[in-house]
């Protein structure tokens, strides 16, 4: 699967050192949660302990406002959860509301499932569909589906023994986006990503929230010691630090607004995104992507949408200024 975030291919095609590049090809917060100066040595040396996992889960439950009747499962990244989903969810057809993050359709196709690409979250479900995947807010366009519509889908799926899968990878920085406070008794599994909002994508930490029986199947599938000791420790501290989270949400909203304004002044039409990335439209996104790459700024294009350019949030005022200069130079290219 091709993703953003690996500068290797950029360096191979456009030269330069990794340190000279500004990587805006992902939606990872450039303001990382501050790492502790030292971690307890035991986090590295001992097998991950049950009490450290219990603390992490409790912190995630509070941060994500998870209802008491749902269970949380921690994993080394949401991608590791996706890898196991086909083995723990019921059989049947899958519908993915797209265009969206490509791994969703891919994991189900690879598992031999029929996958329907729906173009609207309000489309009728084909008869064979037992699983519906909605990324909310959506990547790359930021489209939001309201909780009532998600509940309606879940009720429809419940009637056929199916499940709704909601990927909330970018929900942390969009207040009110999460469906979690609105679930009760519905067959819904919600995926949360730690690394994006907290800016620690290398840590690999993600969660699934689900009713007990499904959470238990997923826990068993992920096997013992799934989350490394350092991730248990850092994840718990960050998720418990609600003051940092609140301040960061406000900061990201401000910076995303400044980014949008700057892009529009540079002639791009911004028509979607979340505070961690914007989706801009331009006549030939691939050409602008390459021109920016010649300025050592790495963005993301989509083969299914030749006018779309996804641009991650740059690192503060300085990053934004660099992006502005690169855009001006790219657009001025003959």
Residues at the site binding a second copy, with contacts judged by CB under 8 A? 1, 3, 5-8, 23, 26, 28, 32, 35, 41-51, 76-77, 79-80, 82-84, 87, 103, 107, 110, 195, 199-204, 220-231
Cα 243 off chain centre by = 22
Closest-CA residue to 166 (of 136, 138, 139, 141)? 136
Torsion angle defined by CA atoms of residues 137, 78, 257 and 303, in that order, rounded to the nearest 10 degrees: -80
Nearer to a second copy, 88 or 154 (CB): 88
Residue closer to a second copy by CB (options 37, 303) is 37
C-beta of residue 109 within 8 angstroms of C-beta of residue 74: no
- To a second copy, the closest distance from the beta carbon of 91 in angstroms equals 14
CA dihedral 151, 156, 159, 165 (to 10 degrees): -60
Task: Report, in Å, the least distance between residue 155 CB and a second copy.
Answer: 31
Residue nearer to a second copy on the CB measure, 195 or 314: 195
Q: Nearest-CA neighbor of 22 among 13, 10, 34? A: 10
- Residue 134 is inside which H or E element, if any? strand 129-135
Of the pair 44, 271, the CB lying nearest a second copy is at 44
To the nearest whole angstrom, how small is the minimum distance from the Cβ of residue 192 to a second copy?
A: 16
131 forms beta bridges with 94, 163
Please say which residue, 20 or 51, places its beta carbon nearer to a second copy: 51
- Give the nearest distance from C-beta 200 to a second copy in angstroms: 5
Q: From the CB of 218, what's the least distance to a second copy, in Å? A: 11
């Amino acid at each position: 699967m091709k993703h953003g975030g690996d500068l290797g291919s950029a360096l191979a095609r456009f030269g330069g050192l990794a340190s000279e590049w500004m990587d805006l090809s992902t939606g990872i917060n450039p303001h990382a949660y501050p790492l502790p100066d030292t971690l307890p040595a035991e986090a590295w040396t001992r097998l991950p302990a049950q009490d450290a996992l219990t603390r992490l889960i409790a912190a995630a439950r509070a941060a994500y406002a998870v209802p008491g009747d749902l269970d949380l499962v921690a994993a080394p990244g949401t991608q590791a959860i996706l890898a196991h989903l086909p083995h723990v969810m019921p059989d049947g057809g899958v519908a993915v509301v797209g265009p969206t993050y490509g791994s969703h359709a891919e994991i189900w196709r690879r598992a031999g499932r029929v996958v329907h690409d729906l173009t609207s979250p309000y489309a009728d479900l084909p008869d064979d569909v037992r699983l519906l995947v909605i990324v909310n807010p959506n990547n790359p366009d930021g489209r939001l589906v309201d909780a009532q519509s998600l509940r309606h889908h879940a009720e429809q799926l419940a009637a056929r023994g199916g499940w709704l899968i909601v990927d909330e990878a970018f929900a942390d920085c969009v207040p009110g986006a999460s469906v979690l406070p609105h679930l009760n008794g519905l067959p819904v599994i919600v995926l949360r990503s730690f690394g994006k909002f907290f800016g620690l994508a290398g840590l690999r930490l993600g969660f699934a929230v689900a009713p007990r029986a499904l959470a238990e199947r997923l826990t068993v599938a992920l096997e013992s010691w799934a989350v490394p000791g350092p991730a248990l420790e850092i994840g718990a501290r960050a998720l418990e630090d609600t003051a940092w989270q609140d301040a960061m949400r406000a900061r990201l909203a401000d910076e995303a607004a400044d980014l949008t304004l700057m892009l529009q002044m540079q002639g791009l039409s911004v028509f979607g995104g979340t505070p961690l990335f914007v989706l801009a439209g331009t006549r030939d996104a691939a050409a602008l992507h390459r021109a920016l790459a010649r300025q050592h700024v790495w963005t993301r294009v989509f083969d299914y949408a030749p006018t779309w350019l996804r641009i991650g949030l740059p690192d503060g005022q300085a990053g934004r200024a660099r992006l502005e200069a690169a855009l001006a130079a790219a657009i001025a290219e003959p």
